[in-house]
Structure 1
Amino acid sequence: MAGPKQDGKAGFVILIAHINMVLYSTSFWIQTGVMPYLSKRLGMDAIMFGNLQTTFAVIQLLGGPLFGRFGDLFGGRAALSLAYLSSGFAYLLMGLSTSVPLLFLSRLPTVFMHGMQAAQMIVTDLSSESERAGALGKLGLSYGVGMIIGSTTGGLLISNYGEPFAAYTAAAGCVLNTFVVMKYIPANTKPVIVTKENKSETAHSKSIFSVKEILRLLSIPGAASVLAIKTITGLPMGVFQSMFSVVAMDYFKLQAEHNGYLMAYIGVLQMVMQGLVVGWLTQRIAEKVLFLWSVLLISLVGLATALMTNIFQFCLICIPMSLGISAFYLITNSILTKIVPPTDTGAMLGLNMCAHSLIRSVSPTIGGFLFELYGFSSFGYMQFLVNLLVFFYILIRSPN
């Protein structure tokens, strides 16, 4: 964007996107606190609750690419509004749920509940390539603020007013967010480049449900390999995260209160790493170098996790773990948005979110199997071996 006036306007829009992210995250974590208590009150057992979580992940997996195409075709304001209205509708249905089928039904609107993806689209459109990883990382900082506010507020609302009221509060937050978007976010935030090349880029199918467009993006050099690496590297971490509540109770023997403190500690670490440290590193080290070494760091963290014996050691391991994970995810997001034309960043971010949803879909099953047969240490060894292989693969493929 050219000129100080435009730069100032872009900065204001990014600020609004961060405010949106805090509100979105606050609402999401309020309803996250509602879900286990409401499902238990409705008589769901652990297996059925796992099926509910898998249903959510599969629906998100299907919606990611569609949402990305929607954002590319209709602009940032429409994408954010769709994400927040979908979230609000899902939370409203959750509050109205008086049976298990209704609770499952409340997951259907989440097909377009991609608030982080929409905010990433806005920030990608308005940031330069050299600052993109840091700009995307700061969204993680805003998300973390909402996570802390939402978790605390949700617990208080559930304790004092019940699960339905907390769910309605989350829905109201999404409606408020939509009003903010309609008031302050411009209809289109993508840069306008009038050239023959740009015209050819925008001359592709205008359909949201376009398999051809998805295949075209995957055929761009580097896109499929980065997405594959992201999925393979992220799977062991997803397995560990899916089983963390079980690990906290059965392995560390933590009470609910202490588990809350641990989650808050991890949340603060992620905020610092995503919002400050990774951006600082990308200004001094090439992204491809950080990409490679973040994979190695994640691998070594896996080995340390397998060998640890107490909660204090785990708290220490969380520091390099948060750094490695934050750097890896932010840099892959940045790389993926740079290898496609500006007109396709939303769709590419949608495919990127598919990788996360795919991991969430299969992780609980794999995690439960490994934990039952081989114990907690198997998560760490899996992370170590898988990511070590990925590290050598990247090193051999890209020696420079």
Structure 2
Amino acid sequence: MTQHRCPGLGEPLPGTCTPGLPFGASPDLGQRGSCCSWEDPPPAPGAHQPGFHSCYPQGLPGPAWRGKGQGWIQCPAILAALATLLGAVLSFTCIPASTKGAKTDAQAPLPGGPRASVFDLKAIASLLRLPDVPRIFLVKVASNCPTGLFMVMFSIISMDFFQLEAAQAGYLMSFFGLLQMVTQGLVIGQLSSHFSEEVLLRASVLVFIVVGLAMAWMSSVFHFCLLVPGLVFSLCTLNVVTDSMLIKAVSTSDTGTMLGLCASVQPLLRTLGPTVGGLLYRSFGVPVFGHVQVAINTLVLLVLWRKPMPQRKDKVR
């Protein structure tokens, strides 16, 4: 067998690279080399060539060439660490110690009574027994459930149903997050100065029903992009209004506990979502998420219509 030398390497190699490629390719190892022409025919598939060496592009040895892009993997982790550090600094310097003023009718804890622990089931149950709190909390959980299931399964739906690549799915999620920031920061503030909490809550549930009907018929990612603004509006409005109602229904000392209960809805959906959403998606496909959203939010709208929430003079903040 004729021996050849690769540029930049001093040891002879057997002529096993395939001619016609910009870099000679090994048929049995599938690695590219820097040799361009060979006189001997390539070996048979699966044949073992003792002493065979692969050629890499000149100036880039094999291990360094393969690890050239691995440094970029650390960039997202570094950026996340810097953003977390910035958030910690802002939380210590910009957030006031008290964000809720004292009320004359606030339910103060009994003097000399037992102090509640960090995870006190009795304290949580007592909060859920307050007037209007169970109904508002159930509305929050029920209306979030269909959208939460869909968003948990979105990574699979985007690649399996929409036939998107990983980068394209990331762009779509960035678009979703950008709309959520704009809606929650600008749109809801303007609407809350003109409409009451009850009107905004009913409007969000009604838009959920319309989006669910359209979601049951969507067939492409373009249709989903048209639905995203309505979905984001309903989701942000529902969460802001229900959180405001629940916080106003409890005393100042119980605000943290109620905020923790409100924040526990999303982790609950992320825990149950993969199992329930996977079973629904495998059995009925993507339209089932729209059907479930229409059914649940129609029941919620009927409940809100028959028994309205108590009217308050203050608006959503």
Report if TM-score (shorter chain) is over 0.5: yes
Q: Superposed, which structure 2 residues align to 1:4-43 within 5 Å?
A: none
Gaps of 5+ in 2: 1-68, 311-317
User: Match for 1:395: what amino acid?
Assistant: W
- Quick check: 159-168 or 379-388, which moved more? 159-168
- Quick check: 365-374 or 189-198, which moved more? 189-198
Structure 2 contact 107–251 (Cα < 8 Å) conserved: no
1:178 to 88, 110, 124: 88
User: Match for 1:211: what amino acid?
Assistant: L
* 1:314 correspondence with 2:224: yes
Residue aligned with 2:257, SS: helix
Distance 2:111 2:199 in 1: 30
Match of 1:25 in 2: none
Match of 1:327 in 2: 237
2:124 to 214, 239, 259: 214
Match of 2:204 in 1: 294
| 1:347 shift after superposition | 0.6
| 1:329 shift after superposition | 1.1
| 1:209 shift after superposition | 3.0
| 1:214 shift after superposition | 1.0
* 1:368 correspondence with 2:278: yes
Structure 2 contact 217–287 (Cα < 8 Å) conserved: yes
Match of 2:14 in 1: none
Match of 2:259 in 1: 349
Distance 2:279 2:113 in 1: 48
| 1:175 shift after superposition | 3.9
How much identity, in percent, do the aligned residues show?
35
Mark the CA change 1:169 to 1:259 in structure 2 (over 3 Å): closer, same or farther: closer
Match of 1:245 in 2: 155
Mark the CA change 1:193 to 1:385 in structure 2 (over 3 Å): closer, same or farther: closer
1:359 to 262, 269, 272: 269
| 1:194 shift after superposition | 8.1
Match of 1:265 in 2: 175
| 1:170 shift after superposition | 2.9
| 1:252 shift after superposition | 1.2
Q: Superposed, which structure 2 residues align to 1:66-77 within 5 Å?
A: none
Distance 1:222 1:194 in 2: 20
Distance 2:112 2:250 in 1: 12
Q: Superposed, which structure 2 residues align to 1:382-393 within 5 Å?
A: 382-393=292-303
| 1:274 shift after superposition | 1.0
Q: Superposed, which structure 2 residues align to 1:111-190 within 5 Å?
A: 161=71, 163=73, 166-167=76-77, 169-190=79-100
Match of 2:39 in 1: none
| 1:172 shift after superposition | 4.8
Structure 1 contact 239–367 (Cα < 8 Å) conserved: yes
| 1:290 shift after superposition | 1.3
Distance 1:294 1:202 in 2: 43
Query: Which has the bigger relative contact order, CA under 8 A and spacing at least 6?
Result: 1
Distance 2:254 2:208 in 1: 30
1:277 to 160, 179, 187: 187
Count of matched residue positions in the alignment of Structure 1 and Structure 2: 242
Structure 2 contact 206–297 (Cα < 8 Å) conserved: yes
Larger Rg: 2
More helix by share: 1
Structure 1 contact 217–223 (Cα < 8 Å) conserved: yes
User: Match for 1:393: what amino acid?
Assistant: V
Distance 1:161 1:290 in 2: 48
Distance 1:197 1:350 in 2: 19
User: Match for 1:212: what amino acid?
Assistant: K
Residue aligned with 1:398, SS: coil
Gaps of 5+ in 1: 1-158
| 1:164 shift after superposition | 5.5
Q: Deviations over 1:109-163 (max 9, x none)?
A: xxxxxxxxxxxxxxxxxxxxxxxxxxxxxxxxxxxxxxxxxxxxxxxxxx66355
Mark the CA change 1:242 to 1:185 in structure 2 (over 3 Å): closer, same or farther: closer
Instruction: Tell me the C-alpha RMSD between the 2 structures.
Output: 2.7
The two structures have a TM-score, normalised by structure 1, of: 0.55
User: Match for 2:232: what amino acid?
Assistant: S
Q: Deviations over 1:214-268 (max 9, x none)?
A: 1111111111111112111111111110111111111111122322222222222
User: Match for 1:247: what amino acid?
Assistant: I
Distance 2:103 2:132 in 1: 24
Match of 2:307 in 1: 397
Residue aligned with 1:307, SS: coil
Q: Deviations over 1:5-34 (max 9, x none)?
A: xxxxxxxxxxxxxxxxxxxxxxxxxxxxxx
Mark the CA change 1:380 to 1:201 in structure 2 (over 3 Å): closer, same or farther: farther
Distance 1:228 1:185 in 2: 30
Distance 1:246 1:334 in 2: 33
The two structures have a TM-score, normalised by structure 2, of: 0.68
